[in-house]
Chains A and B, each alone.
Chain A
Amino acid sequence: MKTRGKTFKYGDNIDTDVIIPARHLNSIDPAELASHCMEDIDKDFVSKVRKGDVIVGGSNFGCGSSREHAPIAIKASGVACVVASSFARIFYRNAINIGLPILECPEAVAAASSGDELEIDLSAGTIRNVTKGADFKAQPYPEFMRSIMDAGGLIEYTRSRLASKGAAAKTAR
């Protein structure tokens, strides 16, 4: 799957409080959450972001609270992928679980500037900075995480696993 869009670049330690401030956590509606995405660090993000755009962050992206509202808000805002030097572990899990594509690639992060056009091939894990004319390869996903992503997320993965366990139990009887 290939996507192409503009870069929104931020620094290190982008925490989930700035991705979606707690004052908006009285909602679980993805569209409403998206309407406040990044507002405490970049007021213009919501008005400027277009479907297919890319958030590029430094190290420890998504640190802090476990709120899944953060990747939900990013995904619902139309962002096709988050590229970071490294991710905080709960954010990483959440993104995989809900099907928000994320890639770890410090080199691509170092090269990218806000506004750069990025072309990303998610299955190959490649990032092309079209503006700068440079290509990068992200860390590959472990097999197990690929299987969650291929299923469409953890819910779909769990549903099919529990269904096959249930079927096996019935056969055994």
Chain B
Amino acid sequence: MGMTMSQKILAAHAGLASVEAGQLIEARLDLVLGNDITAPVAIREFGRIGVEAVFDRKKIALVPDHFTPNKDIKSAEQCKMMRDFAHRMDIENYFEIGEMGIEHALIPERGLVLPGELVIGADSHTCTYGAAGAFSTGVGSTDMAAAMASGTAWFKVPAAIRVTLEGEMRGWTSGKDLILHLIGLIGVDGALYRSLEFAGPGVATLSMDERFTIANMAIEAGAKNGIFPVDEKTRAWAASVSSRPYTAVEPDADAVYERELRIDLSALTPTVAFPHLPSNTKSIGAAEKLRVDQVVIGSCTNGRIEDLRVAASILRGRRVAKGMRCIVFPATQEIYLAALREGLVEDLVKAGAVVSTPTCGPCLGGHMGILAKGERAIATTNRNFVGRMGHTESEVYLASPAVAAASALAGRLADPEEIMKAPGHGAFTKASTAAGTAAGTATAEREKA
């Protein structure tokens, strides 16, 4: 019986010729990840195992990104616990402020995950690396602790749902809209315990940044992982971040999928997830144009350079609405630097947005943008649960960077198409923002001229 991509990666790491859905296996790990919230619990538990060293000091990554720069004394103590452990164990991939970033943007950027690899992380959005054709999934702190000691983890081999993508997205529609649409279609437990495997001719039309956004939110459909086939774009990306060898994996032609979905990318529209579930989606055209207090652009979902280019292309030369708080978070220091070089930071600040150091802060109601009772935010983040970004009576609406930026200008939920067509607004296209650094810079210069 044929195997899916996920099953093949798991089999290879378990030393088995084949595996099937439901089978419990123990597999060798290529990377074990933790952050300043989950690693402290893992470090405490690691201490109880009674081993003196981690299994491989090069295959553990510790990223202080959630409550950093340290938001209070207790957070500072947790970061210190993690930093001390990293030094004691001589962990190679510990990233201090100044070289860090939001873990799920940083790990791929540093070339710490490549196609065909197997990664677990004590953070639910570890599934992000499926964009690179890797099998990666979130676990808890105790799994992380055991993995740091043994270099292995147990897995129940997942069945898979194949999502075949056709056509090409239009206008301001992006990868975020695709994943919100998919979650709306199948529900927050629609892929529970399963792999979401993307396939079809539409994949080639998606940039790597978009694929990271899509795989990132697989967990929001309950999936164990989301994974993309390895194509020319993946290989070019891999070559740009690492010179390590890797073994890309393809699904067998007779792989068994529990369910098949088809999505016509050309039919997608900008999509918004209303409170309090990511599956509570509406097309922008059908969404009530509610007043908004805060816009957050960033996170492990949408804090990459293309996201900032899109946001800047909408905000450039305009002002955010009076009374609106617009907060932008580049996901890593490298992305921050690229945004500076391309003039995006200047565009954003001139428009009245604030640009923060990389942090998970506001996404999970940690710091740097907490909501008061009754306030409403549009965020490019990944969850809109009760109290996720602050008060239990605040609301979070999930959307793309384009919708978020347009809403920041309008002071209410807005369709980028409508905002950009308004009198006095120049004609921008998504294409001019997504064609790479050179094009981004050119756009920036054209707009300044």
> A residues touching B (Cβ–Cβ < 8 Å)?
13, 15, 17-18, 21-23, 25-28, 40-41, 59-60, 63-69, 71-72, 86, 88-90, 93-94, 97-98, 142, 144-145, 153-155, 157-159, 161-163
Count of chain B residues with a beta carbon within 8 Å of a chain A beta carbon: 50
The answer, among A28, A72, A90, for a CB contact under 8 Å with B78, is: A28
User: Would you mind naming 16 contact pairs between A and B with Cβ atoms under 8 Å apart?
Assistant: A21-B365, A22-B37, A25-B67, A27-B74, A40-B386, A64-B383, A66-B122, A68-B140, A88-B192, A89-B224, A94-B140, A94-B141, A97-B146, A145-B24, A155-B45, A162-B149
Residue in B closest to A97 when the chains form the complex, CB atoms: B142
> B residues touching A (Cβ–Cβ < 8 Å)?
24, 37-38, 40-41, 44-45, 48-51, 66-67, 71-72, 74-75, 78, 122-124, 126, 138-143, 145-146, 149-150, 154, 156, 188-189, 192-193, 222, 224, 277, 364-366, 383, 385-388, 392
The answer, among A15, A40, A64, A153, for a CB contact under 8 Å with B142, is: A153
Q: How far is the CB of B430 from chain A (nearest CB, A)?
A: 30
**B45 and A40 within 8 A (CB):** no
**A144 and B154 within 8 A (CB):** yes
Q: Contacts A90-B139, A97-B143, A161-B150 given: A17-B385 contact, CB under 8 Å?
A: yes
Q: Contacts A64-B383, A67-B38 given: A26-B72 contact, CB under 8 Å?
A: yes
By CB atoms of chain A within 10 A, which of B141, B224, B385 has the most?
B385
Within the assembled complex, what's the spacing in Å between the Cα atoms of A40 and B388?
10
- Write out the residue numbers on chain A whose beta carbons fall within 8 Å of the beta carbon of B67: 25-26
- Per DSSP, chain B at the interface is loop
Within the assembled complex, what's the spacing in Å between the Cα atoms of A97 and B145?
11
**A22 and B51 within 8 A (CB):** no
- Write out the residue numbers on chain B whose beta carbons fall within 8 Å of the beta carbon of A15: 383, 385-386
Q: Contacts A17-B383, A17-B388, A40-B392 given: A155-B189 contact, CB under 8 Å?
A: no
Within the assembled complex, what's the spacing in Å between the Cα atoms of A152 and B277?
35
Q: Contacts A22-B365, A66-B122, A88-B222 given: A159-B387 contact, CB under 8 Å?
A: no
Residue in A closest to B364 when the chains form the complex, CB atoms: A22
Q: Contacts A17-B364, A40-B392 given: A63-B142 contact, CB under 8 Å?
A: no
Residue in A closest to B74 when the chains form the complex, CB atoms: A26
The answer, among B40, B139, B365, B385, for a CB contact under 8 Å with A93, is: B139
Q: Ordered nearest first, which 9 A-B pairs have the shortest CB separation?
A: A94-B140, A26-B74, A68-B140, A60-B189, A97-B142, A66-B124, A22-B364, A158-B146, A68-B141
- Write out the residue numbers on chain A whose beta carbons fall within 8 Å of the beta carbon of B139: 66, 90, 93-94
**A162 and B364 within 8 A (CB):** no
**B146 and A155 within 8 A (CB):** yes
Within the assembled complex, what's the spacing in Å between the Cα atoms of A28 and B150?
23
The answer, among B142, B150, B386, for a CB contact under 8 Å with A162, is: B150
**A90 and B138 within 8 A (CB):** yes
Within the assembled complex, what's the spacing in Å between the Cα atoms of A153 and B45?
11
Given contact pairs A66-B139, A89-B224, A158-B150, enumerate 16 new A-B contacts (beta carbons under 8 Å): A15-B383, A15-B385, A22-B364, A25-B37, A26-B67, A28-B41, A65-B364, A65-B383, A66-B38, A67-B37, A67-B140, A90-B139, A94-B139, A144-B24, A155-B45, A162-B49
Q: Contacts A60-B188, A68-B38 given: A17-B386 contact, CB under 8 Å?
A: yes
By CB atoms of chain B within 10 A, which of A25, A71, A142, A159 has the most?
A25
Q: Contacts A155-B48, A155-B49 given: A25-B146 contact, CB under 8 Å?
A: no
By CB atoms of chain B within 10 A, which of A18, A21, A65, A157 has the most?
A65
**B189 and A13 within 8 A (CB):** yes
